Amino acid sequence: MDLISITGWTAFALVALFGFLFAATFAIEQEKRPAVIAFAVTVAALAILGTLLLIDIPFREWIIPGLIGVVVIVGGVVALPRTRSEALRIVGKRSRVDERDAILHRFYRIEEGTPEFEAYYESHPEKREFDEKLRAMPGLAEPGSKTHDPVTSGFQAACFGLTEDLTRELDWSPAPMDGQKVEIDPAEAAMRLKGFARYLGAVSVGCTRLDPAHVYSNIGRSPGKWGEPIDLSHTHAIAVAVPMAHEMVRLAPDSPTTTETAFEYQEVARIAMALARYLNNLGYEARAHVDGNYRVMCVPVAVDAGLGELGRIGLLVTPELGPRVRLAVVTTDLPLKQDEPITFGVQDFCRICLKCADICPSASIEAGGKLDHNGVEKWQSQQDTCYRYWRLAGSDCGLCIKVCPYSHPDGSAHDMVRWLIKRNPMARRLALWSDDLLYGRRPAARYPYPDWHKKN
User: d(Cα 162, Cα 164) in Å, to the nearest integer?
Assistant: 5
Q: Strand, coil or helix: what is 290? A: strand
- The string of pLDDT tens digits covering residues 256-315 is 999 999 999 999 999 999 999 999 999 999 999 999 999 999 999 999 999 999 999 999
**Confidence band (pLDDT; 50, 70, 90) for 447?**
confident
Do residues 220 and 102 touch, judged by C-beta distance below 8 A?
yes
- Cβ(301)–Cβ(239) below 8 Å: yes
The model's pLDDT over 136-161, given as tens digits with 9 standing for 90+, comes to: 999 988 999 999 999 999 999 999 99
Taking alpha carbons only, the member of 232, 374, 393, 220 closest to residue 310 is 374
pTM > 0.85 = yes
Cβ atoms of 49 and 15 closer than 8 Å: yes
Give the pLDDT confidence score for residue 87 in this predicted structure.
87
> CA-CA distances (angstroms) from residue 76 to 9, 41, 245, 423, 426?
20, 21, 34, 11, 11
Q: What is the pLDDT of residues 392-428, one digit of tens each?
A: 999 999 999 999 999 999 877 888 888 888 888 999 9
The reported pLDDT for the residue numbered 370 is 95
Give dist(CA 217, CA 160) in Å, integer: 25
Contact criterion met (CB below 8 Å) for 238 and 336 = yes
pLDDT digits (tens, 9 = 90+) for 181-239: 999 999 999 999 999 999 999 999 999 999 999 999 999 999 999 999 999 999 999 99
Task: Answer yes or no: is pLDDT of 245 > 80.
Answer: yes
Q: What is the pLDDT of residue 123?
A: 95
- If pLDDT is split at 50, 70 and 90, which confidence band does 1 have? low
Q: E strands within 63-179? A: 89-90
404 exposure class (CB count in 10 Å sphere: 0-12, 13-18, 19+): buried
Q: What distance in Å separates the CA atoms of residue 167 and residue 330, rounded to the nearest whole number?
A: 13
Helix (H) or strand (E) holding 231: none
